[in-house]
Structure 1
Amino acid sequence: MSTWRDDPNAIPPWNERPKCHCGFRTWLQVWTDPLPQGKKGCRFFKCPDIDDDFKACTFMQWIDTRPLGRVSLNEVETKGQYYARHTQAREEARLAREEQERRVRQQQIRLKGKEDELKRW
């Protein structure tokens, strides 16, 4: 079975991206410089520097250990695409958290009702 790591044009699922030193999910890029030799065309994860301020986060992690051959050196993922995925992941996490809180509140209400029944005995 093939994974996103095997397909040079695939975008990894949000939860499979490593987190950088800033705590953000990383941005997928393709190396376009001729140096270091042998890395041109390789994909890597880097810090997204979300607020575009200069930061000292130097996180970088290679995905490909050798160039993928005839892969176009276009941006694999634009900042806009990254931000859209980032926003979607945050929204999904918020909704999941709210659903969990709702379930906990319902459980507390049920337990409170059982407590009241015991007090009546």
Structure 2
Amino acid sequence: MSTWRDDPNAIPPWNERPKCHCGFRTWLQVWTDPLSQGKKGCRFFKCPDIDDDFKACTFMQWIDTRPLERVSFKEEQERRVRQQQIRLKGKEDELKRRRAELGQREAALKIQE
């Protein structure tokens, strides 16, 4: 069963959309900026009249203290893929090194013959 915590468009049952400083009912949004560590995937209320350059009302109120599980799961999967890529690169480098050693040994054996 899905709960408000799982749905990025759901508002907690105890929390109505608050009014901003302008008097408007706020909008619900999900933070997507990857630069803000720990906030990506968290929901917040913001003024519907807010500008991208923040010259208008700057009302913002967080709903979540941690990212939604779905976003966290995605980030965890991305982290695992990056780790596997690093391990694979290490194995490729090791294979190249061993092939080079083998080539040197074969060349040394040919010289001895």
Could you state the TM-score of these two structures normalised by the residue count of structure 2? 0.48
The 4+ residue runs of structure 1 with deviation greater than 3 A are: 1-9, 11-15, 50-55, 97-119
Q: Could you list the per-position Cα deviations for residues 41-85 of structure 1 after superposition, in whole angstroms to 9, with x for gaps in the alignment?
A: 11110000189997531100011001113249xxxxxxxxxxxxx
CA contact (8 A) 1:26 1:47 kept: yes
- Mark the runs of 5 or more structure 2 residues left unpaired by the alignment: 97-113
Q: CA deviation at 1:10?
A: 2.0
Q: Partners of 2:69 and 2:85 in 1: how far apart?
A: 58
Q: CA deviation at 1:25?
A: 0.3
CA contact (8 A) 2:17 2:25 kept: yes
- Mark the runs of 5 or more structure 1 residues left unpaired by the alignment: 73-96
Q: Classify 1:40/1:6 alpha carbon distance in 2 versus 1 (closer, same or farther; 3 Å).
A: same
Q: Hey, what does 1:106 align to over in structure 2?
A: 83
**Which stretch shifts more, 61-70 or 45-54?**
45-54
Q: Partners of 2:68 and 2:92 in 1: how far apart?
A: 64
Q: Classify 1:26/1:111 alpha carbon distance in 2 versus 1 (closer, same or farther; 3 Å).
A: farther
**Which stretch shifts more, 98-107 or 3-12?**
98-107
Q: CA deviation at 1:35?
A: 2.5
Q: Classify 1:98/1:18 alpha carbon distance in 2 versus 1 (closer, same or farther; 3 Å).
A: farther
Q: Classify 1:13/1:22 alpha carbon distance in 2 versus 1 (closer, same or farther; 3 Å).
A: farther
CA contact (8 A) 2:26 2:45 kept: yes
Q: CA deviation at 1:113?
A: 95
Could you state the TM-score of these two structures normalised by the residue count of structure 1? 0.45
Q: Partners of 1:40 and 1:68 in 2: how far apart?
A: 9
Q: CA deviation at 1:34?
A: 1.2
Q: CA deviation at 1:36?
A: 1.8
Which structure exhibits the higher relative contact order, with contacts defined as CA atoms closer than 8 Å and separated by 6 or more residues?
1
Q: Partners of 2:68 and 2:79 in 1: how far apart?
A: 47
The structure whose Rg is larger is: 2
